[in-house]
Amino acid sequence: MPETTPNPTAEAPAAPAKSPQNHSALNQRWIQMLNEADQLVRAALKPDYAPAFAQGGIDAAWLGALAADIQAAQSLAGQAIGAPPASRPSPRPRPR
């Protein structure tokens, strides 16, 4: 009968190295995208561009709602960046 237990002297395969995630860079990119969207909406609200947007079914009310959503997202992003990470446990005092 063949032996089914693994050989204890055999080396386990090395785990692949994880690439570190830089959450700060992700947060900065997200905020940059919100800022760019805000700039686009501000430009789209100019009277010179209204006819072009109206042809596509986008009116000032729709752009105003989008601008409000962007501002709300920017506010939430500011709160999230200012708050401590929820996933990080608070440090425990070391016993003496």
Question: Is residue 74 one of the residues assigned to a domain?
Answer: yes
Question: Is residue 4 one of the residues assigned to a domain?
Answer: no
pLDDT tens-place string over residues 61-90: 999 999 999 999 988 887 777 765 555 445
Give pLDDT, residue 74: 87
pLDDT tens-place string over residues 3-62: 566 565 656 666 666 666 556 666 788 889 999 999 999 989 899 988 898 899 999 899
Question: Is residue 45 one of the residues assigned to a domain?
Answer: yes
Question: Is residue 24 one of the residues assigned to a domain?
Answer: no
The range of the structural domain enclosing residue 71 comes to: 38-81
Give pLDDT, residue 71: 92
Give pLDDT, residue 37: 93
Question: Is residue 52 one of the residues assigned to a domain?
Answer: yes
Residues 72 and 62: their CA atoms lie apart, in Å, by 15
* Number of structural domains the chain divides into: 1
Residue 37 near residue 1, CB atoms below 8 Å:
no
